[in-house]
Structure 1
Amino acid sequence: MRQTRTRTRRGTQTTMPGTGGGNGAVTRSTLRQQLADALRDEVLGGRLQPGQEFTVKEIAEQYGVSATPVREALVDLSAQGLLDAVQHRGFQVHEYSLDDYRHMVEARILVTDGMFRRLGERKVDPRAAAALAGVRRRGEEARRAATAGDLDILIGYDLRFWRELSILFGNPYLADFLHRLRVQAWVCAVQFLRRVKGPDGLKGRLWASHTDLVDALTRRDAQTAQEIIAAYDAHSLDLVERLAAE
């Protein structure tokens, strides 16, 4: 089985299997997802820039795999709004605007506002309480990364944190919608966030109240939870707008 190396968001390396040998259907499906995840990380990491074009062949050669799972992965990312198909040329990274980001935050507000509104009226599920402890650990990692200004580590933990939280306190359809929206919002935001240079970079400028939100939800304090989320949305939009204006 051929192998190639792909860089993860945390800067470590993982092994990506090739397409030969084993159960072909399972291997191809797994490889398709691995490729989609790796390419999404390239976009989130700013290594694939908005508007940058590439072909299926180029990606297949880069990762040392056949064209079929690459094409499938690129189609998946196009369906998620991260890539655009360019007729007769391949694909390009979707270019989001500042107005797009404003609309994303607005959509996020409309959905999340209702998710926690009736928190105090819901019956406590012991399994949810136990799962919330795991979410808090993700929140601690996200908080540390945000405080340190480590964007690469923050994005991964932040996406996982919000996805798990949405599943616990919403319905799975809304959780999937919000996750896709958050990925798109990060893709849009990183083009502005990565402009920040200097020794301190983004240190102290990123939202870092993940654990405060979990603590409020653990107390079933819906009002505080909503206030924290509102502050998060306002902070995110204000930061991106200020960076876009610089």
Structure 2
Amino acid sequence: MIKRSTLRSQIASALRDEILAGRLPAGSHFTVKEIAEQYGVSATPVREALVDLAAQGLLDVEQHRGFRVHEFTVDDYRSMVKARMVVLDGLFHGYFTDDGPVPVLTLDEAVLASVRRRAEAAVRAARAGDLDVLIGYDLRYWRELGDVIGNRYICDFLDRLRVQCWVYSVPCLRKEPEVSKRLWAGHRELVDAVEREDAETAHRIAGEYHRHALAIAEKSPPW
């Protein structure tokens, strides 16, 4: 028998993926009963999963009515990207100083190899314009890269912001006729800079990442 906590996590992950992919678009309304029937499970783990997603800012709780996929505005998106920019810059400054990298951190080769695999997969997906594949690898890439050079609390915060930014930007990007030209693909160069302990290049690439994200807001909405 699957434990309730595991079922709760599985349902939350499945619904988050649906929201990220845009298959559950902003404003979509549903009840615990509807999701429970869809997955063929009891109401309790579904309710817990939906509450978890609401805590992540992806769902709104509608009193006595159920849940609704949160609608992020373009101003929300700009604010999230700028917040991400400030925190990520702080993360890099915490690792890189004017005199070089802070010596208390050791770059684990196995972890870096995993980050590099995520980077390669993300770049391939971006160049192919495959949003569904890119989202998963991009999120894992940034999470693992953050684990290399940061702390868990900052990584959790950044992960939440990235998910929310993807939720906003995916519907916009899907309207692009040549979406591959609108996707950031600097993952490999950034991990190379971190591995070389090249502070200047790492900051430059991170800045390009932020500017690229903000450029999406220039065309939305409407598209």
TM-score class normalised by the smaller sequence: over 0.9
Q: CA deviation at 1:241?
A: 2.1
Whether 1:215 aligns to 2:192 is yes
- Check the 8 A contact 2:119/2:138 in 1, yes or no: yes
Kindly indicate whether residue 68 of structure 2 is the aligned counterpart of residue 54 of structure 1.
no
* Structure 1 stretches lacking a partner, 5+ long: 1-20
1:190 is aligned with what amino acid? V
Asked if 1:43 corresponds to 2:19, the answer is: yes
Q: Please state how far the C-alpha of 1:122 moved relative to its aligned partner.
A: 1.8
- CA deviations on 1:59-117 (whole Å, 9 max, x unpaired) are 00101111000000000000000000111110000000000000001101110112112
**How high is the sequence identity, in percent, across the aligned residues?**
60
**CA deviation map 1:116-173 (0-9, x unaligned):** 1242232275552331121011000000001111000000000000011111101111
Question: Residue 205 of structure 2 corresponds to which residue in structure 1?
Answer: 228
Which residue, 123, 128, 147 being the options, matches 1:167? 147
Task: Give 1:76's aligned residue.
Answer: 52
Q: What is the number of equivalent residue pairs in this alignment?
A: 219
| Corresponding residue of 2:169 | 189
Kept in 1: contact 2:74–2:220 (CA 8 A):
no
Indicate conservation of the 8 Å contact 1:139/1:157, yes or no: yes
1:206: how far off? Answer: 0.4
1:97 counterpart residue number: 73
- Taking structure 1 as reference, are residues 110 and 126 closer, same or farther at Cα in structure 2, changes over 3 Å only? closer
Q: Distance in 2 between matches of 1:163 and 1:143?
A: 16
| Maintained 8 Å contact 1:82/1:94 | yes
AA matched with 1:171: N
| 8 A Cα contact 2:20 2:170, kept in partner | yes
1:166-199 deviations in whole A, cap 9, x for unaligned? 11101111011100111111111112112224xx
Tell me the secondary structure at the aligned position of residue 92 of structure 1. Answer: strand
The equivalent residue for 1:206 is 183
Match of 1:239 in 2: 216
Amino acid paired to 2:211: A
Q: Give 1:245 shift.
A: 4.8
Paired letter, 1:38: A
After alignment, is 233-242 or 48-57 more displaced?
A: 233-242
Q: Which moved more, 1:125-134 or 1:139-148?
A: 125-134
CA distance in 2, matches of 1:178, 1:47: 24
Higher relative contact order (CA closer than 8 Å, sequence separation 6+)? 2
Q: Output the CA distance in 1 between the equivalents of 2:18 and 2:101.
A: 42
Give TM-score, length-normalised by structure 1: 0.85
Tell me if the contact between 1:50 and 1:94 (Cα under 8 Å) persists in the aligned partners.
yes
Corresponding residue SS for 1:189: helix
In structure 2, the residue matched to 1:14 is none
TM-score (norm 2): 0.94
| Residue of structure 2 in register with 1:13 after alignment | none
Q: Which ranges in structure 2 are unaligned for 5 or more consecutive residues?
A: none
Which is worse superposed, 39-48 or 115-124? 115-124
Contact 1:148/1:204 (CA < 8 Å) preserved in 2? no
Residue number in structure 2 paired with 1:28: 4
RMSD over equivalenced CA pairs, Å: 1.4
Q: Which residue of 1 aligns with 2:118?
A: 138
> What's the CA shift string for 1:33-80, capped at 9, x where partnerless?
000000000101111110110000000010111100000000000000
